[in-house]
C-alpha cells in the first residue's frame, strides 16, 4: 500500500498560469516533505522542502503548502513556464527512521503549454 500518493498522473497548464500539484500521505510519522523535479533521461533534482512544524514554505515561484490534519501537501508554481515541464515527485521522511529513508509518490507529469 502506497504511503505517499500523487493521484494525478498528469497535468496540463497554460504558460503564465498557476500549476498546482497535489500529494497525499497516510503515515502520521512523516515529519519532513520534499518535492523533486525530473527531466527525461536525468536524475531527479531537489526543488523545495517543508518541515511538519510549518504549513508553508516559499522559494521564488515555488510554494509548498502542508495540511497536517488532512495529510495533504501541494506544490504551487506561479507563473508556470515551459521549462517547468517535467515529472514532479513528492517524498516524505519519517522521524522514526532518523531521516535516513525517503518514501516517494508515483509522480505527476506537468506540461506547460506556450
Partner 1 sequence: NAGVTQTPKFQVLKTGQSMTLQCAQDMNHEYMSWYRQDPGMGLRLIHYSVGAGITDQGEVPNGYNVSRSTTEDFPLRLLSAAPSQTSVYFCASSRSGVTDTQYFGPGTRLTVL
Selection from 82, 84, 68, 2 nearest residue 35 by Cα: 84
| Residues between 48 and 67 with contacts to partner 1, criterion CB under 8 A | 49
Instruction: Report how far residue 57's alpha carbon sits from residue 69's, in angstroms, rounded to the nearest whole number.
Output: 17
Min. distance of Cβ 114 from partner 1 in angstroms? 27
User: 10 Å Cβ neighbour count for 12?
Assistant: 11
32 is an interface residue for partner 1 by CB under 8 A? yes
Which of 87, 77, 79, 70 lies closest to 36 in space, CA to CA? Answer: 87
101 touching partner 1, by CB under 8 A: yes
Site string for partner 1, 74-93 (x = CB under 8 A): ---------------x-x-x
- Looking at the DSSP bridge assignments, the partners of residue 45 are 37
Q: Based on the shown chain and the rule CB under 8 A, indicate whether residue 98 belongs to the binding site for partner 1.
A: yes
In whole angstroms, the minimum distance from the beta carbon of 9 to partner 1 comes to: 7
Size of the residue set binding partner 1 (CB under 8 A): 25
Amino acid at each position: 500500500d502506497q504511503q505517499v500518493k500523487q493521484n494525478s498522473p498528469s497535468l496540463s497548464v497554460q504558460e503564465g498560469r498557476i500549476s498546482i500539484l497535489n500529494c497525499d500521505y497516510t503515515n502520521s510519522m512523516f515529519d519532513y516533505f520534499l518535492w523533486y523535479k525530473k527531466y527525461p533521461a536525468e536524475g531527479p533534482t531537489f526543488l523545495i522542502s517543508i518541515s511538519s512544524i510549518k504549513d508553508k514554505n516559499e522559494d521564488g515561484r515555488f510554494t509548498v503548502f502542508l495540511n497536517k490534519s488532512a495529510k495533504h501537501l501541494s506544490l504551487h508554481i506561479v507563473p508556470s513556464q515551459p521549462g517547468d515541464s517535467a515529472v514532479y515527485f513528492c517524498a516524505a521522511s519519517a522521524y522514526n527512521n532518523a531521516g535516513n529513508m525517503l518514501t516517494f509518490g508515483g509522480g505527476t507529469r506537468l506540461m506547460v503549454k506556450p
